[in-house]
Structure 1
Amino acid sequence: MFSRLDHEIPAVYFPKDWAEGLKQILLNIYGEKCIQNEKTFEIYGFSYPTEALLIISYVGLDKFETPVSLFISSDLTDKTDTDKTMDNMFDSAGVFFDQYFSAEENNDSDVIWDDYVLDWEESEFSGEKLFYKVTRENISLTMEANALLGE
């Protein structure tokens, strides 16, 4: 559904308490901006046999507001240190949101951020190859629609 790679096996969803823990970290760091912008974070984690996927959406409390969704993917092998990989993925998301909020502070209030990256891009973070894209997709709505369609 969201993955970078094709998989024959459905994703294993990361636990809700894991996602909530990451959300609390982001709110501790960016809480003022969230309050100011009337937005919050939604966190999704998916594991496949050969890929880990982290999605962090910065969404409006008004569900009609366009979100900014950051997708970060990493290849998994038998030798992958998954804890390190997940830490790197989350840390790289922090770098992204630092830049996002910094750009927001330096722009006119009338300027809309639009540095979307719709195709997967490769990047290196802490010596690890990660892939990312940034979209306007509302992840929770996509998941609800797929559930209704039985996918």
Structure 2
Amino acid sequence: MRRREGTGGILAATTVALALSVPPALAAEPLSCTDRNVLERVRDNLRNSGRNAEPPRSFSALSEPREVLLGAPPRSANRHATSVTFIVVSRYCEGRAGVDAGAPEPVYWRIDLVRDGTEESSRIDVCHKLFDPFEDGCLAYRPGA
């Protein structure tokens, strides 16, 4: 039996990730920006971030979800990649979130197609004003930013 090393780093890189199994026939690209499970994950993140904000804020709606780009992941995403575990391709998405009674704010999410040996899954990372993991204006979630 062959021992695999270093496969956990890429998948453990974020706490806002959701792994969804992808059937082999659909493995050419990540899930759609408007996939029901993807949108529910984005909404959950918005609700949880609003509850944990100081002061707490309430999320009202997610609107205008759309794909921005299907392309290479940011270099930092494959920082811990190995020859068998890596992000193949990323789908960059954005939408608008109504928070409290204010104007809608941008929300960004990136769906990565992750390959781990012969297995593939989609990982979803979300970024917005209330939850910006790197505190850099969501650069890793916006292509060309």
**Please, what TM-score do these two structures have when normalized by structure 2?**
0.35
**Please, what TM-score do these two structures have when normalized by structure 1?**
0.34
Higher share of residues assigned helix: 1
Higher share of residues assigned strand: 2
